[in-house]
Amino acid sequence: MKLQKIVERLQKLHPKEIDLSLDRTKNLLEKLGNPQDQINCISIVGTNGKFSTIQALYAILKEADYKCNIYTSPHIQKINERFVFNNKPLTDDELANLFSEVEEANNQTQITFFEILTVAYFHYAKKYPENINLIESGLFHRFDATNILKKNLASIVTAIGLDHLDWLPKEEQTVEKIIFEKTSTLLNSKIVVAKQSSNEISKSIENTIKDNTSKKIIFNKNYNFTLKENDFFYFEDEFGALKLPKPNLPGEFQLENVSTAIATVRQLTDYKITDEHIKSGITKIESIARLQELKSGKLKDLTSNNLLFVDGSHNPLGAKVLNEYLQSLNCNKHIILGMMANKDHNEYMSYFKDIKSLTTIDIPNQPNAIKGSELKEKIKNFENINYKNSIEEAISSIDLQENDIILITGSLYLAGEVLNLN
Q: Which domains does the chain have, with CATH numbers?
A: 1-282 (3.40.1190.10), 292-421 (3.90.190.20)
Kindly state the average pLDDT of the residues 161-168: 64
Three-class DSSP category at 172: helix
Helical H segments across 282-371, by residue range = 316-327, 345-349
95 within 8 A of 80, measured Cβ to Cβ? yes
pTM of the full structure: 0.94
| Per-residue pLDDT, 285 | 97
Kindly state the average pLDDT of the residues 117-133: 98
Helical H segments across 184-233, by residue range = 199-208
Question: What's the pLDDT band for 28 if we cut at 50, 70, 90?
Answer: very high
Using alpha carbons, select from 32, 57, 209, 49 the residue that is nearest to residue 118.
32
pLDDT tens-digit profile of 306-334?
999 999 998 888 899 999 999 999 999 99
| Per-residue pLDDT, 167 | 58
